[in-house]
Amino acid sequence: MLSWLVPQASTSARDIDWLFTLILVTVGFWFVVAQAALFTLIFRFRRRPDVAAAYISGERKEEKRWISRPHALVIVCDIVLIAGALLTWKAVKQDLPPADERVRIIAQQWAWVFVHPGPDGKLDTDDDVRTVNDLRVKIDTTYHFELTSRDVVHSFSVPAFRLKQDAVPGRIVTGWFRPTRLGTYDIQCAEICGIGHALMPARLTVETPAEQAAWYASRSAQGG
């Protein structure tokens, strides 16, 4: 449902959107039911001539049910939502599927530096490709990222991947993503990091292996 507004371009996006939909449908359904009951009762027991208003103390069994039954339903819904949230958290944050490739992401005021593994698919070799504000990844490939910061706390946010992870100076944070849709998407810093925070966007391109090989070759031809 959320994909109508923001493209769904990774496996995590699918999981997060599933949780979003679960919450929206569960809460939305009971919201509609509660409002319908409220307005029905208001209409049914509206003011009439010669009918005195009754004082309801809420002590009779059939009156108490209006509190106890919705209460029980809310608890059941809470359990369902918590279970859904835990399942999603496990799939997105706790599980670390084996990596096909690794990328390094270095945040600084106010730019992103990306280290791509190059044609050999391994970081820290001579063919690594470093770029500024331009991350390129292959579709249907599981990436582990090593995220760090050169100065202050930043947050690596890719809305199309439903991915947001803080970058902390002095720490290397490991995470993962698996792109599922070709295209170009926004990267943004999601943590106020100084006066240039708003001017810290970058671009993420999900491409085919052939396109990435051609890009590596073009970089190599340019000497960079």
Choosing from 132, 182, 213, 217, the residue that interacts with other proteins (CB under 8 A) is 132
Nearest-approach distance from CB 91 to other proteins, in angstroms = 33
Tell me: does residue 110 bind other proteins (CB under 8 A). yes
For residues 182 and 137, is the Cβ–Cβ distance under 8 A?
no
Piece in contact with other proteins (CB under 8 A), picked from 60-68, 101-109, 160-168, 172-180: 101-109
Tell me: does residue 202 bind other proteins (CB under 8 A). no
Choosing from 67, 79, 199, 213, the residue that interacts with other proteins (CB under 8 A) is 199
CA–chain centroid gap for 209, Å, is: 25
> For residue 158, what are its two tokens?
């890719």
191 vs 90, 104, 166, 200, CA distance in Å? 24, 19, 8, 11
Nearest-approach distance from CB 148 to other proteins, in angstroms = 13
Nearest-approach distance from CB 125 to other proteins, in angstroms = 16
Region 147-186 residues binding other proteins, contact defined as CB under 8 A = 150
Strands 163-167, 202-207: pairing is unpaired
For residues 113 and 134, is the Cβ–Cβ distance under 8 A?
no
Closest CA to 11 of 73, 128, 96, 125: 96
Tell me: does residue 113 bind other proteins (CB under 8 A). yes
Residues contributing to the site for other proteins (CB under 8 A): 106, 108-111, 113, 130-132, 150, 195-196, 199-200
